[in-house]
Copies of this chain bind each other. A is one copy, B any other.
Amino acid sequence: MTKTVHFLPDGVKATVEEGENLLNVAANAGVYIHAFCGGEGVCGKCKVKIEQGEVAATQATQLKREEIEQGFRLACQSKVVSDLVVHIPETIRKDGKRLQRKPKTTRTISARSLDDLIGGWDVDPLVEKRFFALSKPTIEDNISDLQRLTLAISRGCPECQTPSYDYPELLQELPFVMRENNWEVTAILLRGKRLEEPERIIAVEPRDTTKGLYGLAVDIGTTTVCGVLIDLNTGEVIAEASEYNGQIQYGEDVISRIIYSQRPGGLEALQERIVHTINNVIETVCRNVSIGHENISYIMAAGNTTMSHLLLRLNPKFVREAPYTPTCNQYPITRAASLGLAAHPSVRLFLYPSVSSYVGGDITAGVHACQMHKSPELTLFIDIGTNGEIVIGNQEWMVCAACSAGPAFEGGGIKHGMRATGGAIENFHIEPETLDPMIITVNHAKPQGICGSGLISIVAELLEAGVIDQQGKFNRNHDHPRIREAYDGYEYVLVWAKDSAVDEDIVITEVDLDNLMRAKGAMYAGYQTLLESVGMTFNDLDRVILAGNFGSYIDLEQAICIGLLPDVGRDKFYYLGNASLLGAQISLIDHKRFWERTVVGKLMTNMELSENPNFMNHYMASLFLPHTDMSLFPTIKEKLPESSSK
């Protein structure tokens, strides 16, 4: 159920889902409210008056009894439960001037635009269950048990090849399974490409078990492993789970994992950790729907090249060493149980193929999910992380590259950087005149630090407010308690120690700004280098697809403002979310999509940026907010304060 919230005195209206946090609603609608503590109810600043309607509010000690009776609430402690008229008291505005800001521009993909982007697919999975009431053998008809089954399977398809079978252990059970319930069995079959490959028997179960057919799609991220359990009879996701990648204890990013893998026993430890993590995901999804892990009939996974290597216990040593050759890009389809995964011994694990050492199966899966390889539209596909991966192309060709953006977007190299967990500042607004902050944290917990999306938000807001200039330096002319010179340079105080969960001021420093500029600069230089390599410019782009969980949290306008995303028509942008998981999921549900995957890999040509002089030039030019060449950012040029433009 949607509700309308009308903010006074600005007259801004927002349509929101029931239950939404009122501080979030204001922030997303571009309505500034003092909020220093991130939404914990500690600072008591975000006092608003509910003039019409009802909120569900937590009792707050910061409000006096008569304030409550007058309708005052703390926005951060209030949930929207009806249409509202909310008045923001003058006390929290500096001078009562109307503050008109654009609403937050995050464009979450709608069901409809998702269809546009990724096309429809059928519930016609790679694995299928078929029930057979077999004839009983007699002395005149005593063919082998296996042949009895395979004949039944290929009956009605005279041109089909004899089904093959997957593993010798199947045969160990087969005679007993066939006799358990009077020769009534259900075969789990893996489709071949029609007429070219025979069907493959994965397993055989007594009785008719066709009703329960499940598959697991997994995205194996460096940080997080996400899995969805799919009912392959309906194509529905029936359970999902995610878990931190247990390898984190051996290093935050792929490079540190590779280094660890070179220690004695390191590779084995890393393999064991990722298997353990995936097993936890399997256990969670299975428990949620009360099935056993042995009921999962196929596992379709995607991960970057290093994650794929580690899962298969392939040494990633040469992934890291120039000239960066992976052991393989097409991974063998292995039996999941042979890797230690909690799976029926016959169940196969498919890993999406990689393109190169740093453009992995997660990207191939994402590109496959959004069907770039079938679209005439020139598309820029971006996955932002420690390594940013970029793909440009259409149905005829694709070029791709990875650029080492560094860990800034994951909180690395940022003084108060952290991952996007509870207490991370994920959204930020600045009151352009008082220069006071509006802080939103993940889960409205007491602020602990800054996550990637928060960092983008903070830098964009500080830039637009003229607190920092385009070189990422603080404007020394401001006389404001939050802007100060510290031991290692200027900084802005986001949260005072008393309002923070870390007993110190949470700040953003000029060093942080430098690191952010390097990160976004690498990405932007990557787009430019790839476009240039195919003789195109940003103007030629029809679509920009943001993949990855991080991508979903980026505010489009702010990301363009700092130069992380290109300044092209906002309607060209799509948020795809965890595209890697989506790709695996679709391939699992529709086998035609699965067979298509090889087309994707063949279209993609990898470029190495690390030693590419064009890339280096573009990178140097990108170390500016948003860019040294402001003609690339016409809409940003317009809105930045004159003083900070070149």
The answer to whether residues A137 and B332 also contact, given A175-B315, A175-B317 and a CB cut-off of 8 A, is: no
- Whether, in the assembled complex, A328 has its beta carbon less than 8 Å from a beta carbon of chain B, the answer is yes
Q: For chain A residues 362-383, which have a beta carbon within 8 Å of chain B?
A: none
Q: Is the CB of B168 within 8 A of A332?
A: yes
Residues of chain B within 8 A of A332, CB atoms compared: 165, 167-168, 171
Chain B residues with CB below 8 A from A317, complex form: 175
Closest 8 CB pairs of A and B: A146-B328, A142-B323, A139-B323, A144-B329, A144-B326, A144-B328, A137-B325, A137-B323
For residue A163, give the distance in angstroms from its CB to the closest CB of chain B: 12
* Chain B residues within an 8 Å CB radius of A146: 327-330
- Closest chain-B Cβ to A149's Cβ sits at a distance in Å of 10
- From B140, B168, B327, A334 is in contact (CB under 8 Å) with B168
B residues within 8 A CB of A175? Answer: 315, 317-318, 325, 327
A356 interfacial by beta-carbon distance below 8 Å: yes
In the complex, A329 Cα to B174 Cα: how many Å? Answer: 13
| Chain A contact surface mostly | loop
A-B contact pairs, 8 of them (CB 8 A): A139-B611, A142-B323, A143-B329, A144-B329, A168-B314, A171-B314, A174-B328, A175-B318
Q: Does A240 interact with chain B (Cβ within 8 Å)?
A: no
**Which residues between 133 and 159 of chain A lie within 8 Å of chain B, taking CB atoms?**
137-148
Q: How far is the CB of A55 from the nearest CB of chain B, in Å?
A: 57
Q: Report how many copies the assembly holds.
A: 2
- Report how far A587 CA is from B138 CA in the complex, Å: 34
In the complex, whether A313 has a CB less than 8 A from a CB of chain B is: yes
A158 to chain B, nearest CB (A): 16
Chain B positions within 8 Å of A356 at CB level: 142
Of the candidates B313, B325, B327, the one whose C-beta lies within 8 Å of that of A142 is B325
Q: A residues within 8 Å of B by Cβ?
A: 137-148, 165, 167-168, 171-172, 174-176, 312-315, 317-318, 322-330, 332, 334, 338, 354, 356-357, 606, 608, 610-611
Query: B residues within 8 A CB of A144?
Result: 325-329, 354
Cβ–Cβ contact B327 & A174, under 8 A: yes
Residue among A146, A148, A322, A327 with most chain B CB within 10 A: A327
When C-beta atoms are compared, the residue in chain B nearest to A611 turns out to be: B139
Establish whether residues B312 and A168, one from each chain, have CB atoms under 8 Å apart when the complex forms: yes
Chain B residues near A606 (CB-CB < 8 A): 142
A171–B168 Cα gap in the complex (Å)? 22
* A139–B314 touching, CB < 8 Å: no
**Chain B residue contacts of A165, Cβ below 8 A:** 332
Report whether A318 and B145 are in contact in the complex, using a CB–CB cutoff of 8 Å: yes
Chain B proximity of A403: nearest CB distance (Å): 15
A316 to chain B, nearest CB (A): 9
Complex Cα–Cα for A165 and B314 (A) = 15
Residues of B within 8 A of A334 (CB): 168
With both beta carbons as reference points, the residue of chain B lying nearest to A318 in the complex is identified as B175
Chain B, residue nearest A329 (CB): B144
A168 to B351, CA, bound (A): 13
A142-B323, A142-B357, A144-B327 known; 16 new pairs, CB 8 Å cut-off, are A139-B322, A139-B323, A139-B608, A142-B324, A142-B606, A144-B354, A145-B328, A146-B328, A146-B330, A147-B328, A168-B312, A171-B312, A171-B332, A172-B313, A174-B327, A175-B315
| Cα-based distance from A332 to B176 in the complex (angstroms) | 19
Q: A175-B317, A175-B318, A313-B172 are in contact. Are A329 and B147 (CB under 8 A)?
A: yes
| A329 CB, min distance to chain B CBs, angstroms | 5
State the CA gap A141–B607 with chains docked (Å). 10
Please, how many angstroms separate the alpha-carbon atoms of A332 and B608 in the complex? Answer: 43
CA distance A314 to B325 in the complex (A): 42
